[in-house]
Amino acid sequence: MSNYLAAKGLRSWLTTLDHKRIGLMYLFSIFVFFLLGGIFALILRLHLFGWGKDLLSADMYNQFFTFHGAIMIFLVIIPGIPGALGNFILPIMLGAKDVAFPRLNLASYYIFMVGAIFAASALFLRGADGGWTFYTPYSIRTNTTVLLVLTGALIAGFSSILTALNFIISIHKLRAPGMTWDRLPLFLWALYATSIIQILATPVLAITLVLLIAERVLQIGIFDPKLGGDPILFQHFFWFYSHPAVYIMILPAMGVISEVIPVFSRKPIFGYKAIAYSSFGIALIAFIVWGHHMVVSGQSELANFLFSLLTMFVAVPTGIKVFSWVGTMYRGSIHLYAPMLYALGFLELFTIGGLTGIFLATLAIDVHMTDTYFVVAHFHYVMVGGTIMGLLAGVHYWFPKMTGRLYSERDAAISFWSILIGFNVTFFPQFILGAQGMPRRYWHYLPEYTMLNRVSTVGSWFIGFGFLYLMIYMWKAVRYGKASGSNPWSALTLEWQTSSPPPTENFEIDPVVTDWPYAYAPDNVHMAVNK
Amino acid sequence: MRHHAHHFASAEAEFEASKQGMWVFLVTEVLMFGGLLVGYGIFRNLYPEAFHEAHKHLAVSLGAINTVFLISSSVTMALAVTYTQMGKRVAASCSLIGTLTLAFSFLCVKYVEYSHKFHDGLLPAGYFTNTELKLPEAPLFFSLYFMTTGLHMLHVLIGMGLLIWILRRTWSGELSSGYCTPTELVGFYWHFVDLVWIFLFPLLYLVG
Ligand SMILES: [Cu+2]
């Protein structure tokens, strides 16, 4: 049987119903959007270096951080791991031939792209400003083409819903014989919990965006104080989606980490059930903490207190996960290859991001920190440190499966260290800047903040270099990489039990599951990597 | 028995999966309308007087007629599903045509209602021109009225599109006792659209 990459030509890609090809199309598109969002970030940081002369005008600056945020959130981090890795891996991990509804899957890719085109078209018109949160009433009054970005986000949301629906039904209905729920790989548990959040939260974002669009087009006044409406209601609606959305972003990354750590520690995962169920704990708490974004928006004292308390609870299920991963590594025989490097990078960055989240959940501190760089740093540690590290761990882990080839471990390590060091140099100073009171989203800053801003900007160059380097060696590996064989990491989940790249129908013989997938032993396993 | 997609073990399994998918989809619909109704609840709570005054300008009789139309259409839809399962092609097609006719009647009544509102200037806040309703917050009621009924009407239109698609396939004999998943799923959807109206009618027309 020929592998899934055999058919050639653009048409064979654009009309494919194969989840693996759709996954790769997502991966490619998301990477392009990531580069676009990243270029905005690099220019913003360059501006903030403070050359004495402004690189960006105030309006441009507003537009740049809006596009950076909107692109990274709606077109990269939210669809990233589910759309790219989830689509590719989920059915194979289940031992299935495809997702439950392949046509819907392709449709969701196209819907995503239509949303992206809408959002990106604003770039060529009058742009968009006001930040990715689109707070009213500014988003009603601004004369930029923010409408296009809103519509784009709305459309992309439907794609997100359809993907989630497909995953839920696939996990329920397409598990291979013998794959009971307690043998389900943790990546799939994580995608399942993520999908539930997507199903329950995204429709609320959809209606919020519909109302905001109607606000601009029909002046319905719901969010407009001038017409009797309530701008705070927009914040409630928006964060009712957007807080759970951060778990849409982080849970799949946690799933990847749960796969990578046992394989590269050669030890059974510690706390399988705890990791699986804590995702649902996170999903549940996700829906009752949104008010922590609105502490200074004129919420009642009681609400502030309750939201603060509930937010603290998030630390419990996330802590369970972090300790379980550390417990898995303890006394394991650790193989420091690229996926594991990224998993460790995830642990470092996510822990810092998570702990500073507790600072922000504390009311007295939050009042002080609201709208400062402290929040920016916290958010980037969680979302970039968490999701992007998880995504990169997954891309490196499954790269041999997707392409049948090996990348250079040496190159991967160079890129990893550049990104990790660059990341810390960029964002750690922002914690300090924020604590000293530097507000976010400001075009200029006071002279005493110059030094740390410069450090931060220099860090961003290392991140940029790391990704540039990554593009080069990935491209080289796709073209000239050594053949990887079907299972270079000696991993036990089903996707490694078929050839690389897999055949169109995923398996030559329909698999039957007889054991859970984490029975690793600390033997002297040989990993077929390209040193 | 119709041939099933290669990645399902049986046609049975495929049907079960589709049904479950539809339920999950309807959950998203509930949450979407839910958001809108929360908005309604909040503003009604903030401005009870204005909402009370404003709701008197809705035509209860027309709303009631539409409620009857939609409930009847749910009955004919249920009949269509049963007849299809039994393999009664003509009866199933007639029931679908009945459902479509009732849906169309609903839209006609809605058209009459909307044109009255347009004529009286009872429009979303920014375009509100009615002079009888003096309370400053009353226009918000009509914003919500148009948003909720508009979104519902969009669902009716989509449903009608689906019904026509089903009708053609039923008439050609493609959907019958052997395979009627699409009919059943469209049935679910249609009952949901009906149910939304069952909430909207009292909230807007009766208790306002
Ligand atoms: Cu939050």
CB contact under 8 A, B32 and A207: yes
Nearest CA-CA distance, residue B148 and chain A, Å: 10
Separation in Å, CA A333 to CA A75, A358, B202 = 38, 33, 66
Determine the residue of chain A that is closest to B147 in CA distance: A211
- Please indicate whether residue A374 or residue A125 has the higher confidence score (pLDDT): A374
Q: Place A145 in a pLDDT band, splitting at 50, 70 and 90.
A: confident
- Inside any domain, residue B8: no
pLDDT confidence of residue B120? 82
Lowest mean pLDDT: which of A353-362, A517-526, B94-103?
A517-526
Cβ separation of B124 and A218 shorter than 8 Å?
yes
- The DSSP 8-state label assigned to residue A270 in this structure reads T
Contacts of B13 in chain A (CB under 8 A): 173
For residue B54, give how far its alpha carbon lies from the nearest alpha carbon of chain A (Å).
15
Is A228 in contact with B136 (Cβ distance < 8 A)?
yes
Quick one: closest CA in B to A233, which residue?
A: B39
Q: What are A439's strand-pairing partners? A: A372
Residue B154 lies in a domain: yes
Cβ contacts (< 8 Å) between A166 and chain B: which residues? 21
Option in A199, A220, A237 nearest B147 (CB): A220
| B29–chain A Cβ distance below 8 A for any pair | yes
- Within the 145-174 window of chain B, which residues sit less than 8 Å (CB to CB) from chain A? 146-147, 151
What does pLDDT average to over chain A?
92
Give the pLDDT band of residue B124 (cuts 50, 70, 90).
confident
How many distinct helices (H) and strands (E) make up chain B? 6, 0
Q: Is A107 on the interface with B (CB under 8 A)?
A: no
A136 or A151: whose pLDDT is higher?
A151
Contacts B20 to A, Cβ<8 Å: 168-169, 172-173
- What kind of fold does domain A10-497 have according to CATH? Cytochrome C Oxidase; Chain A (1.20.210)
A100/B144 CB distance under 8 A = no
Contact state of A228 with B32 under an 8 Å Cβ cutoff: no
- Determine the residue of chain A that is closest to B35 in CA distance: A204
- What are the angstrom distances between the C-alpha of A78 and each of A157, A178, A194, A454? 9, 32, 10, 30
**Chain A residues near residue B36 by CB distance under 8 angstroms:** 207, 211
Residues 6+ apart with CB under 8 A from A181: none
Cis peptide before A501 (omega within 30 of 0): yes
Mean pLDDT (whole number) for B112-138? 82
Q: A230 and B125 in contact by Cβ < 8 A? A: no
**For the segment A216-269, what is each residue's pLDDT rounded down to a tens digit?**
888 888 898 888 888 999 999 999 999 999 999 999 999 999 999 999 999 999
What's the complex ipTM? Answer: 0.91
CB–CB of A287/A237 below 8 Å?
no
Give the residue numbers spanning the domain of B189: 33-206
Number of folded domains that form chain B: 1
Q: Is the pLDDT of residue A474 over 90?
A: yes
* Contact between chains at B20 and A207 (C-beta distance less than 8 A): no
Is B70 within the bounds of a domain?
Answer: yes
Q: How far is B198 from chain A (nearest CA, A)?
A: 20
Determine, for residues B39 and A161 on separate chains, whether the beta-carbon distance falls below 8 Å: no
Helix (H, G, I), strand (E, B) or coil at B3: coil
Q: What are B46's two structure tokens?
A: 């903030």
Domain boundaries, given as residue ranges, for chain A: 10-497
| CATH number of the domain residue B63 falls in | 1.20.120.80
CB pair distance less than 8 Å for A199 and B28: yes
Tell me the average pLDDT across A342-356: 95
Question: What distance in angstroms lies between residue A115's CA and the mean position of ligand 1's atoms?
Answer: 24
Q: What is the model's pTM? A: 0.93
Task: List the single residue in B with minimal CA-CA distance to A196.
Answer: B24
Q: Given its phi and psi angles, is residue A322 left (phi above 0), alpha (psi -120 to 50 degrees) or beta?
A: alpha
Closest among B126, B111, B203 to B156, alpha carbons compared: B111
* DSSP code of residue A99: -
Residues A391, A355: contact at Cβ < 8 Å? no
Backbone angles phi, psi at A405, to 5 degrees: -130, 165
Q: Look at residue B28 and tell me if it is in a domain.
A: no
**Cβ atoms B141, B48 nearer than 8 A:** no
pLDDT, tens digit (0-9, with 9 covering 90-100), for A19-49: 999 999 999 999 999 999 999 999 999 999 9
- What is the reported pLDDT for B1? 43
- How many angstroms separate the CA atoms of A373 and A441, rounded? 9
Measured CA to CA, the distance from residue A525 to residue A316 in angstroms comes to: 35
Which sign does the torsion angle of CA A295, A300, A303, A305 carry? Answer: positive
Judged by a CB distance cut-off of 8 A, whether residue A320 touches chain B is: no
Minimum Cα–Cα distance from A96: chain B residue:
B7
> B52: distance to nearest CA of chain A, Å?
16
Of A35-44, A269-278, A346-355, A480-489, the poorest mean pLDDT is in A480-489
Give the gap in angstroms from C-alpha B45 to the nearest C-alpha of chain A.
13
How close B144 gets to chain A, by Cα (Å)?
A: 8
Q: For residue range A382-409, list pLDDT tens digits in order.
A: 998 899 999 999 999 999 999 999 999 9
Predicted confidence band at B2 (pLDDT cuts at 50, 70, 90)? low
Domain assignment present for B137: yes
Instruction: Over range B103-130, report the average pLDDT.
Output: 86
* Closest chain B C-alpha to A17 CA, distance in angstroms: 12
Taking CA–CA distances from A234, the nearest residue in chain B reads B39
Distance (Å) from CA A291 to ligand 1 centroid? 8
A140 has pLDDT over 80: yes
Place of tokens 């039923």: B170
pLDDT band at A307 (very low <50, low <70, confident <90, very high): very high
Span B160-182, pLDDT tens digits: 999 999 999 999 988 888 888 89
The torsion angles phi and psi of A185, rounded to 5 degrees, stand at: -60, 150
Chain A (156-215) residues lying within 8 Å, Cβ to Cβ, of chain B: 161, 165-166, 168-169, 172-174, 199-204, 206-208, 210-211, 214
Task: Tell me whether residue B150 is in a domain.
Answer: yes
Report the pLDDT averaged over residues A6-13: 84
Across the interface, whether the CB atoms of B125 and A227 are under 8 A apart is answered yes
**Which chain B residues touch A199 with a CB distance below 8 Å?**
24, 27-28
The pLDDT tens digits of the residues spanning A44-91 come to: 999 999 877 788 898 899 999 999 999 999 999 999 999 999 999 999
pLDDT at A531 over 80: no
Shortest distance between the Cα of B9 and any Cα of chain A, in A, equals 9
Measured at the alpha carbon of residue B28, what is the angle toward residues B5 and A291, in degrees to the nearest 5?
A: 140
